A and B are shown apart, each in its own frame.
Chain A
Amino acid sequence: TPTGSLAARESSGMEIVYGDPPPLPADVSVRVYNMEYCPFAQRVLLALSAKGIKYDVINCCLGPNKPQFLNDANPNGEVPVLLHGGHVLYESDIIVDYVDRAFPGGHRLYQDNAISVAKGRLLVKMFDTKVIPLFYKLVFYPNHENQGKLLDALETWIENPLEELDTPFFGGQDYSFVDVNCWPWIERIHAMKDVGFISLGEERFPKLFDYANRMIASPGISEWVHTGEEYKTFYDSYRKGNPRYNYHAKRPMYCKGKRA
């Protein structure tokens, strides 16, 4: 069910703006170039929320109308980009690592334990290569076969590992970089099970259901969830080639500058 903050969002999304974002407020040291529905960028937002620090989010249009400052910041022209202390960083999983090191307070996302880091990195890599591509395959080709493949991959790479670990989170008693890196896609799949995207059954995925409910209720995670309807609207528009990048967003979206 949506939280109060979700219910307060405007139904039509906020306005489009041009040019460069304003300078950071004096009390904020971190800025993220984001897109409301980008799961990779969400990884970074979750990592920053875990640290309890103030950060500024700049939503960007992607595709041919992406703002110039995004292309200038990242050779790949993609979100997320993190700006902090004069550094411009990209690659979402690397930024998560950076955030944990650069802001040592708050919630720790990595343990000081080489083997648990190595195992966690492997899980993220397997999720990246075995699960994420199947999510997009289903987005673009929503058929029964692709649903089945995604469900099988979820069972192998999420349900079974959760069963084996037998801890509340992939990170153990609390969420870690593994949870932060995998959650955005799990969130989308779980949210969209009720709007016809995928038949995710609790009988087959008891651990995943428990995990999703636990994550949604976790501080730091809960502020960046969307509803199934919001995700479905976005992904339908994405599939049709006209993505509603800023649907229901609480902040304006920067686009490529229009001439006066």
Chain B
Amino acid sequence: MAALHGDPPPIPADTPVRIYSMEYCPFAQRARLALTAKGVKFDVINCHLKNKPKFLTDAHPNGTVPVLLHKGNVILESEIAVEYVDQVFPDQGKKLYPEDAAERAKARVQITFFGQKVIPQFYKALRETSDEEIGKLLDVLERWVEEPLRKQGTPYLGGQDYNTVDINTWPWLERLDARVQHGAISLPEERFPNLVAYIRRMKSTPGIAELVHSAEDYKVAFDSYAKGEPNYNYNSPHPFYEGEVKA
């Protein structure tokens, strides 16, 4: 699909939420997963992230996705958006946060620690692909995902069903799985029995499965990033906007 310019058309009357997104952005995927979990109708406006459209930079000081538009409200930052969606659509779809104050706090700590310990190492291993960096990634995956799954003994990080912890962490595990399928990383089942089962389970879970990209899609995306020319909208069904073309 060719890139569009200017502003997107107005949000349709029957669509409560619009999201400024990018097809391969894991942070934006968190918000899309949350909306899907709630069964909320939303429309997706994908954005070029190097030549950003003006409507994106007007909405967010950092010009990052996701940006959620709902009832005239503009919500920024992925984890904030997930919480917002759970609060404004309380009576539909899945409950994304535990009701109990301590359980809610522990869920948020899990998300924070994943963000502190796993996500940076995921990107490091993606850039540096050395045995050492991949080894460190496996270590943090074991400590911060495999072990919690094992200790909890539940199908999802959220318990019997997926919740905000799964939503906020899955995008990187999906990409990890793609890297495994590419042969770039090995995730041995003997060391990661719970994580391997969890990945398989998530990929076939309604609400998650619809947003999963194939290993082939990720190969094109990652390779294009590595070359410095990100193919932001590869194989995407959504309209794609960029900033004005510079003369």
Assess whether B247 is interfacial by the CB under 8 Å rule: no
> Is B105 in contact with chain A by the CB < 8 A criterion?
yes
Give the residues in chain B near A75, CB-CB below 8 Å: 113
A122-B105 contact given A91-B112, A94-B112, A114-B84, CB 8 Å threshold: no
Stretch at the interface among B5-13, B69-77, B167-175, B230-238: B69-77
Interface residues in A90-129 (C-beta closer than 8 Å to B): 90-91, 94-95, 97-98, 101-102, 114-115, 117-118, 121-122, 125-126
| Bound Cα distance from A215 to B116, whole angstroms | 32
Is B200 engaged at the interface, CB distance under 8 Å to the other chain? no
Measured in the bound complex, the distance between the Cα atoms of B86 and A123 in whole Å is 20
Instruction: List, in ascending order, chain B residues with CB within 8 A of A87's CB.
Output: 102, 105-106
Contacts of B245 in A (CB 8 A): none
Residues in chain B near residue A115, CB distance under 8 A: 73, 75, 84, 88
Whether A212 is near chain B, meaning CB under 8 Å from some CB there, is no
The residue in chain A whose Cβ has the minimal distance to the Cβ of B99 is A101
Q: At the interface, yes or no: A89 with Cβ under 8 Å from chain B? A: yes
B residues in contact with A94, CB < 8 Å: 105, 108-109, 112
List the A side residues contacting B112 at CB < 8 Å: 91, 94
Can you list 26 A-B pairs with a CB-CB distance of less than 8 A? A85-B102, A87-B102, A87-B105, A87-B106, A89-B109, A91-B112, A94-B105, A94-B109, A98-B101, A98-B104, A98-B105, A101-B101, A102-B101, A114-B87, A114-B88, A115-B73, A115-B75, A115-B84, A115-B88, A117-B84, A117-B87, A118-B75, A118-B83, A122-B76, A122-B80, A126-B61
Top 5 nearest A-B pairs (CB, nearest first) are A114-B87, A101-B101, A98-B105, A87-B102, A102-B101
